[in-house]
Structure 1
C-alpha cells in the first residue's frame, strides 16, 4: 500500500510538525499548503483511535500528536500535509476521540486523545447521529477545519446526565449554543 519514498515522507511530516511546534506557532497552517499529492502512506487511524503504521501501532504518543497537527481532510480523503508533500492516509471512523470533558462555567471543554482542548460552541458543535445497524447514538465534536472527534461512550454518558429535557429531547448548552443529544428514552 505504501509507495516508495514514504519513509522519507513520514520523516518529512514529523520534521515539519516538530518545527511548527518548536516555533511556538501552535498548529501548522495546513489549510494554506497545497503541495502535489505524493501518494499513499501506510498509516491507518483505527476506529478505536489507535494510529497504525505498516500494520503496527505507533507507540510514541508525541509522534501521534505531531502527525495529528498536520492532518487535513480534503474532499477526497484524509491527508498528512507539509509545505512540500501531501500523503493519503486511511481513517476508519473519525480521526480523534474526545476522551475527557469538564465544565468551565456554562461551557463544556473536551480533551481529545491527541491533546487538543475544544470548547463546544457554534463553531465546534456536538452532533449525534444514529448507527443504522445498531440504533446506538454516535456522538461527535468538531475539532478543527472539518476534523472531528468521536465522543467516548463514558463522556457521552456524562453529557446525558447533565442534559435538560425539552419537548421529549435531551440537550446541553455550551458556548452560547444548544446541542441536541437525541430523544429521551
Structure 2
C-alpha cells in the first residue's frame, strides 16, 4: 500500500468508525468488504498504536480504530463496510489496565475504554512462558479480541485469588459472574 493510499485508507477507516460509533460498537462481524491490503499500523505489545513508525498520540483516534478492529483467520484487520486492511499486533490488541470487584463480578477496563465483566462470555486465561515461567494473563474482550492483563492488575487478582482442588492439584483462581478462572498453581510465584 502506498503512502497516499495508506493515508486515504486511514481516513476512510476513521470516518466509518466515527459514523458507526454514534450507535455503539460497529457491527464489524457483519461487514465483508474485499481485502484492500496491509496498512502500516502496528499495536506494540505494551498497547501503543503506531502508524508508519510513529506512535498515534491522539487517544480518541486509537479508541476509534479499536472499535473497527477484527480478528480473522489471517490476522487482525481494521474493517469498514467498504474496506478491510490488515494490521500488525505484537501480542494482544488491548491492555486491561484496571479491575474492580463489584459484588461477585470482576469488572475490567482496557486502555481503549472497553469495560468488560469477566464471566462465561469473557474468559480469563493465563499462559506461562516455558523459558522464564512468567505468567501472561489475558481477558477476552469481544469476538476473539483479547486484552493482556497489565502486571499491576494481575497482582490485584493474585491478592484476591483463592485455592481450589483440581485434578492437577491445588490451583489459585478468581471467580466472576459464576465462572472460576485458574490463575496460578499453588506454590507458584506471580512475578
Same structural fold, with TM-score higher than 0.5 when normalized by the shorter chain = yes
State the TM-score, normalized to the length of structure 1.
Answer: 0.96
Checking the alignment, whether the CA contact within 8 Å between 1:2 and 1:40 is kept in structure 2 is: no
Query: What's the C-alpha RMSD, in Å, of the aligned pairs?
Result: 1.1
Query: What whole-Å deviation, never above 9, does each CA across 1:46-78 have from its counterpart, x for those lacking one?
Result: 011000000000000000000000000000000
Cross-structure match for 1:152: 150
Q: Does 1:15 align with 2:15?
A: yes
Residue 120 (structure 1) aligned to one of 93, 118, 121:
118
Cross-structure match for 1:169: 171
Distance in 2, Cα, partners of 1:50 & 1:3: 21
Residue 179 (structure 1) aligned to one of 178, 181, 184:
181
Checking the alignment, whether the CA contact within 8 Å between 1:120 and 1:126 is kept in structure 2 is: yes
Query: What whole-Å deviation, never above 9, does each CA across 1:21-59 have from its counterpart, x for those lacking one?
Result: 23xx11000000000000010000001100000000000
Cross-structure match for 1:96: 94
Distance in 2, Cα, partners of 1:2 & 1:50: 23
What is the deviation of 1:4?
5.2
Distance in 2, Cα, partners of 1:160 & 1:2: 47
What is the deviation of 1:133?
2.5
Q: Which runs of 5+ in 2 are unaligned?
A: none
Q: Which runs of 5+ in 1 are unaligned?
A: none
Distance in 2, Cα, partners of 1:64 & 1:177: 31
State the TM-score, normalized to the length of structure 2.
Answer: 0.93
